Structure 1
Amino acid sequence: MKEPKMVGRRSFIKQSGFLLSSALIPLNGYSMAIMKKYKYKMGLQLFTIRDAMKNDPIGSLKTVASLGYQDLEIYGYDVDKGTYYGYKASDFKTILDDLGLSASSGHYGFSDYFDKSEDQLKQYVDQCIEGSHALGKSYITWPWLAPEQRTIEKFKLLTDKLNRIGEQVNDSGLGFAYHNHGFEFIDHNGKNGYDIILSETDPNFVKLQLDLYWVKHSSKLSPKELIAKQPNRFVMWHIKDMDKVSRDYSELGNGSIDYKTMLANIDQSGLQFYYLEQGGNFAVNSMQSITDSATYFKKHLQKYL
């Protein structure tokens, strides 16, 4: 993607035709006054609309804001260029500000540095910290492990890396978290990777971003039971539904996960942010999916958060 020119706040508003005052009018039937009664901002993991963000980041973000999303989790930071979605980090922050959006967390490519030197990993973390501060984020999140990194021996190596990164990130004034998928819950002769992460990482430095879909998909324990182990560590959630037949991703309300019961009974004492997400399997396309999920969430689930 060709890197755009630097944009200032006034020029961005003029070029996009989007007035900040529009954030004060009803969005899809939900006014800002109504949204403010909820404890948490309605969040979206932008990976859901990665195709749209690649083709038209500003137009996509306008739609995201119009649907009532207020907070974002970012992915795809280019550490060499210091850019998000082709924009310098400072310019992207201006775009978010003008749309009334915040970015509280970001997923970064730590898995690529799993087997690199300690100095290389430390340098990468410093670059992630710089990009996160530019957007005013609260958390840096480790989101993924490559298939060859999912053995019990590798999980034990991972915990040391998580502790060192967590201390480095915390020293910078940010929080650090680990995001799960399903492979952490695979049984290896009575052990699994998630138990190792829970027991061998420092809770002061390493928080947890719980993907509720993957817990329902792959864990023997429910999200409620997992959170009960160390409630204050689960500072972020990913909320997405599960197709009733294929068990793939689905738009909220179309799947098999009973979020009404779950959210009404789950411990939220550690929760700071949540993000709606759908990694694929869209009924129509990604933008229609975030529209449908937002509509369902606001009508049926947001009252619990």
Structure 2
Amino acid sequence: MITRRDFISHTCIAASGFLIGGTTLAAAPKPRYKMGLQLFTIRDAMAKDPITTLKEVMSIGYEDTETYGFDPKVVSYYGLKAKDFKQLLDDNGLTTTSGHYDLFRYLNVPDAELLAYVDQCIVGADVLKQKYITWPWLDPKDRDIEKFKLLASKLNTVGERIKKAGLGFAYHNHNFEFIDHDGEIGYDIIMGETDPNLVKLQIDLYWVARASKRTPAELFRKQPERFVMWHIKDMDKVSQDYTELGNGSIDYTAILPDTEIAGMEFYYLEQGGNFRKNSMQSIAESAAFFKSNLQSYL
């Protein structure tokens, strides 16, 4: 006969785990962060068929996305009006927390023209419920020190406009920000001459590993809580090109524990190219490796 005390005891055990052969197996803790994907990785598939592609993205296990590409004239993404793209995400249980917008095209124009584009980005991001608008790139002709100083000024201007709209703004690095220009480094200008309250940083850990003399930890400790988004991708051991997670040389077990000091809010797996088979197969391989080997650090 099961007493009331036995019933309560077994109920409490069942609530906290599973009983198998008298052994309690605790339920795996849910990750604190959604596994995100930068959709630039699968830009070929998204261009052909965003509906089928996002369904497969969901089936692989991704929960969050970062967009790439935006038409300000009609406020659309991947050929779909913003509200229709948002519905497509909703239908697949996906969110989008950031977008890469073509702000770099407006670096050398009057602020009025830049801010007109920013306002359209805000409209789109609001429809998608994105938290961040991200500046993703610099044109090759705009990578000298004077242009980095201009960039810092423009980033503050854009950040102020976006903050007033209730959204966040971030800058995404590549390798060229770490080039030494007679003792001056573009990334130092970005970090030092922009207002951290207006301009956050989206750190691309692949490019830091490949191009910076400083480790991610050193950057995080220089400006704690500013690195709100991370791009996670691996580097081929020989060519240093992109590769699927787990195939390369970057030791993420030494980086992922620093999320708190960095201030990370979102992360996105990404692979810009050099796919072993194709982009969709690569995001599946990277997701499988990440879930098995790295997600527990988050």
| Other-structure match for 1:190 | 183
CA-CA distance at 1:138 after TM superposition = 0.1
**SS of residue matched to 1:233:** coil
| Other-structure match for 1:216 | 209
Structure 2 counterpart of 1:113, one-letter code: Y
Q: Structure 2: which 5+ residue stretches go unaligned?
A: 1-26
Please give the alpha-carbon distance, in whole angstroms, between the structure 1 residues aligned to 2:223 and 2:114: 28
From 103, 108, 113, the equivalent of 1:110 is 103
| Other-structure match for 1:178 | 171
* 1:251 pairs with 2:244: yes
TM-score where L is the length of structure 2: 0.89
Correspondences of 1:284-295 after superposition (within 5 Å): 284-295=277-288
| Other-structure match for 1:203 | 196
For residues 248-294 of structure 1, give each alpha carbon's deviation from its aligned partner in whole angstroms, at most 9, with x where no partner exists: 10000000111122223564451100000000010100000000000
| Other-structure match for 1:274 | 267
Moved over 4 A (4+): 265-269
| Other-structure match for 1:129 | 122
Please give the alpha-carbon distance, in whole angstroms, between the structure 1 residues aligned to 2:194 and 2:56: 39
Q: Structure 1: which 5+ residue stretches go unaligned?
A: 1-33
Structure 1 counterpart of 2:297, one-letter code: Y
Please give the alpha-carbon distance, in whole angstroms, between the structure 1 residues aligned to 2:224 and 2:44: 35
CA-CA distance at 1:55 after TM superposition = 0.6
* 1:169 pairs with 2:169: no
Please give the alpha-carbon distance, in whole angstroms, between the structure 2 residues aligned to 1:269 and 1:144: 22
| Other-structure match for 2:45 | 52
Aligned-pair identity in percent equals 63
* 1:96 pairs with 2:94: no
Structural RMSD (CA): 1.2
TM-score where L is the length of structure 1: 0.87
Residue correspondences, number:
272
| Other-structure match for 2:69 | 76
* 1:300 pairs with 2:293: yes
For residues 15-50 of structure 1, give each alpha carbon's deviation from its aligned partner in whole angstroms, at most 9, with x where no partner exists: xxxxxxxxxxxxxxxxxxx89711111000000000
CA-CA distance at 1:86 after TM superposition = 0.8
